[in-house]
């Protein structure tokens, strides 16, 4: 299992692409126009497409008591030390140098711990940077004030520390933490700096009781990423204009993995922690799609479960799902599968659109489990939007950079005013209009929002739509990241109310980390 094998298999299966010139028909008008990709798009080094892994599968690293991805429930102050370590990733030729968050607490050492907290808890970590470059931690999805949010303005150099202190006000859900320094987020996250945070509350307690779920046993975080390994085990990375796509899918840092499951209901907390790849996920029994329930997204549980057979999951998004293995007999092999989505157009270079197995589930033994998926999970109320201001936000590419309303991040002025100034206690509708051939998962700091409507969606999204507003199941509930497909228009509602007592400066950016590092990011301000 090494990079060369993957490339070789990619060539054999004919999945490589190296197109430079396209005939445009799907790029909005001008059918039949021939364009040549700007340098850096069409002439990118070919992307080795992940293909079916061969050889022995590796047991999935199930978060629990291990050092790596162990569950950590903080009490009081503690320190996240960012450092590099050597780690043997199963199936990879040599040891991999990773950048990680290390925590020592109660006589234990954790590496990239999955942090467990309860709504209302006070969280007081210190970041101690032992990397050779600046960094800062951002708590993706948590509603945290500017001073604690991990804005690049607060980045610290090697040897320096940054203290955080805030109270968890969010509902139960699966959040995550990752770096956010200027221009290096993609690099640092790719090299390992990323993990999950699990927030719990009463809704969570009742779901767990109803389904007899146990974290680390039948309630399992699955952090899905794509990496490329060199033959010596080191990671290969390039900051590409369209985003970096790895040739090896990993789940909880395990390539080519399997998990043994009992014939009962499992909960999986999926996080797309990839730099750029959009997954179209399903569970397959042979060629048959196995239905499952979506029960939560970024901002926590939905009001009720939604039965689906496929979901799209863009970088930054989370999907909390229930899979019932109860009807499968001992020995059944199921796949978590990524299908082609066809969403990136030729104008977007068609990047990152390949088909492969993400991991395998092996049904084992028998079970007397008889719990049923509850019909209610939580109470959510829609943000009232009648008569509110709509802010139209154009996504474009100009001079080889993806832009938000024509703007790009100013690295010399991290607190720059980009003209998004919003009053506290107001609701706005934001309408994204994507004028590019590439999808962009748009993410806001500081708030969870609601998706209202999709217009002019590509076929895959239209097929997954479950209502008259063109929304997919994963558009329901409280969101912090939303996919905006090529030439699509997406409307969201945001309630900008905050109680932090001073003006908040938050980031708004694309979660394709290379787009973001190359400037597809702005500040917005919410007055005191």
Return the bridge partners of 87, or none: 96
Q: What is the four-CA torsion angle of 68, 72, 78, 81, rounded to 10 degrees? A: 20
Q: Which is nearer to ligand C2O, 7 or 136 (CB)?
A: 136
Q: What would the two tokens of residue 291 be? A: 């239905």
Q: Which is nearer to ligand C2O, 10 or 152 (CB)?
A: 152
d(C-alpha 123, C-alpha 127), whole Å: 12
Binding partner of 515, given Cu ion, ligand C2O, none, CB within 5-8 angstroms per partner class: Cu ion
Rounded least distance, CB 243 to Cu ion, Å: 7
In the window 169-188, what residues touch ligand C2O (CB under 6 A)?
Answer: 178, 180
Q: What would the two tokens of residue 257 be? A: 């993995």
Using a 10 angstrom Cβ sphere, with 0-12 exposed, 13-18 middle and 19 or more buried, the burial of residue 388 is middle
Q: Which of 3, 57, 140, 403 binds ligand C2O (CB under 6 A)?
A: 140
**Chain residues in the site for Cu ion (CB under 5 A):** 140, 440, 445, 510, 512, 515
User: Considering only CA atoms, which of 241, 242, 239, 319 is closest in space to residue 279?
Assistant: 319
- Strand 521-526 to strand 421-422: parallel, antiparallel, or no bridges (unpaired)? parallel
The two counts, helices (H) then strands (E), for the chain are 5, 37
In the window 435-464, what residues touch ligand C2O (CB under 6 A)?
Answer: 443, 445
Taking residues 315 to 334 in sequence order and writing x for each that binds ligand C2O by CB under 6 A, - otherwise, the string is -x------------------
Q: Is 509 in the site for ligand C2O (CB under 6 A)?
A: yes
- Chain residue at closest Cβ approach to Cu ion: 510
Query: Near ligand C2O by CB under 6 A, which window of 211-219, 248-256, 463-471, 505-513?
Result: 505-513
Q: Which is nearer to ligand C2O, 265 or 482 (CB)?
A: 482
Q: Is 479 in the site for ligand C2O (CB under 6 A)?
A: no
Q: Is 520 in the site for ligand C2O (CB under 6 A)?
A: no
Binding partner of 180, given Cu ion, ligand C2O, none, CB within 5-8 angstroms per partner class: ligand C2O
Q: Is 138 in the site for ligand C2O (CB under 6 A)?
A: yes
Binding partner of 512, given Cu ion, ligand C2O, none, CB within 5-8 angstroms per partner class: Cu ion
Q: How many residues does the chain have?
A: 528
Rounded least distance, CB 25 to Cu ion, Å: 23
Binding partner of 510, given Cu ion, ligand C2O, none, CB within 5-8 angstroms per partner class: Cu ion
Rounded least distance, CB 481 to ligand C2O, Å: 8
Binding partner of 207, given Cu ion, ligand C2O, none, CB within 5-8 angstroms per partner class: none
d(C-alpha 504, C-alpha 144), whole Å: 10
Backbone angles phi, psi at 464, to 5 degrees: -90, -5
Query: Near ligand C2O by CB under 6 A, which window of 16-24, 279-287, 393-401, 504-512?
Result: 504-512
User: Considering only CA atoms, which of 110, 85, 95 is closest in space to residue 195?
Assistant: 110
Binding partner of 178, given Cu ion, ligand C2O, none, CB within 5-8 angstroms per partner class: ligand C2O
Rounded least distance, CB 121 to ligand C2O, Å: 21
Instruction: Name the DSSP letter for residue 30.
Output: -
d(C-alpha 12, C-alpha 30), whole Å: 35
SS3 labels along 446-480 = CCCEEEEEEECCCHHHHHHECCCCCCEHHHCCCEC
Q: Which is nearer to Cu ion, 162 or 308 (CB)?
A: 162
Q: Which residues, 6+ apart, have CB-to-CB distance to 459 below 8 Å? A: 342
Q: Which is nearer to ligand C2O, 180 or 471 (CB)?
A: 180
Instruction: Name the DSSP letter for residue 133.
Output: S
d(C-alpha 207, C-alpha 1), whole Å: 39
Binding partner of 454, given ligand C2O, Cu ion, none, CB within 5-8 angstroms per partner class: none
Contacts with ligand C2O, residue ranges (CB under 6 A)? 138, 140, 178, 180, 316, 443, 445, 507, 509, 511
């Amino acid at each position: 299992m090494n990079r060369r094998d993957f490339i070789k298999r990619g060539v054999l299966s004919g999945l490589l692409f190296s197109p430079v010139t396209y005939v445009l028909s799907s790029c909005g008008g001008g059918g039949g126009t021939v364009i040549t990709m700007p340098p850096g798009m069409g002439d990118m080094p070919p992307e080795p497409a992940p293909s079916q892994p061969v050889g022995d599968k590796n047991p999935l690293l199930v978060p629990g008591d291990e050092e790596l991805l162990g569950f950590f429930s903080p009490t009081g102050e503690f320190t996240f030390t960012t450092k590099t370590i050597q780690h043997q990733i199963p199936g990879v030729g040599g040891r991999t140098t990773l950048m990680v968050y290390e925590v020592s607490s109660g006589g234990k050492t954790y590496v990239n711990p999955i942090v467990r907290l309860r709504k209302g808890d006070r969280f007081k970590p210190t970041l101690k940077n032992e990397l050779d470059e600046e960094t800062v931690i951002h708590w993706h999805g948590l509603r945290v004030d500017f001073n604690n949010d991990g804005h690049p303005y607060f980045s610290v150099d090697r040897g320096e520390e940054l203290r955080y202190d805030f109270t968890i006000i969010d509902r139960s859900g699966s959040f995550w933490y990752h770096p956010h320094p200027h221009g290096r987020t993609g690099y640092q996250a790719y090299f390992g700096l990323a993990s999950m945070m699990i927030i719990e509350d009463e809704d969570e307690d009742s779901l767990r009781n109803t389904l007899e779920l146990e974290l680390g046993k039948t309630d399992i975080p699955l952090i899905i990423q794509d990496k490329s390994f060199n033959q010596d085990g080191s990671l290969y990375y390039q900051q590409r204009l369209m985003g970096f796509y790895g040739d090896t899918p990993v789940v909880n840092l395990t390539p080519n993995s399997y998990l043994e499951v009992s014939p009962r209901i499992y909960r999986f907390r999926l996080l797309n922690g990839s730099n750029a790849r959009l997954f179209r996920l399903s569970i397959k029994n042979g060629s048959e799609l196995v239905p499952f329930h979506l029960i939560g997204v970024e901002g926590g549980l939905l009001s009720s479960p939604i039965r689906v057979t496929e979901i799209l999951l863009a970088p930054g998004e989370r999907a909390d799902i229930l899979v019932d293995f109860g009807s499968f007999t001992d020995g059944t092999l199921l796949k978590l599968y990524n299908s082609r989505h066809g969403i990136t157009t030729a104008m977007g270079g068609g990047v990152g659109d390949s088909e492969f197995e993400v991991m395998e589930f092996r049904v084992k033994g028998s079970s007397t489990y008889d719990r049923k998926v509850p019909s209610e999970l939580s109470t959510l109320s829609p943000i009232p939007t009648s008569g509110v201001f709509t802010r139209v936000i154009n996504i474009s590419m100009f001079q080889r950079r993806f832009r938000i309303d024509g703007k790009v991040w100013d690295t010399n002025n991290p607190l720059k005013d980009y003209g998004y100034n919003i009053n506290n206690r107001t609701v706005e509708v934001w309408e994204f209009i994507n004028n590019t051939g590439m999808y962009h998962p748009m993410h806001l700091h500081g708030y969870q929002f609601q998706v209202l409507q999709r217009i002019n969606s590509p076929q895959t999204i239209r097929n997954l739509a479950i209502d008259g507003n063109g929304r997919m199941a994963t558009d329901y509930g409280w969101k912090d990241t939303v996919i905006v497909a090529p030439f699509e228009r997406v409307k969201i509602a945001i309630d900008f109310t905050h109680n932090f007592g001073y003006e908040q400066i938050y980031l708004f950016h694309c979660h394709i980390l290379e787009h973001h590092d190359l400037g597809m990011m702005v500040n917005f301000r919410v007055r005191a």
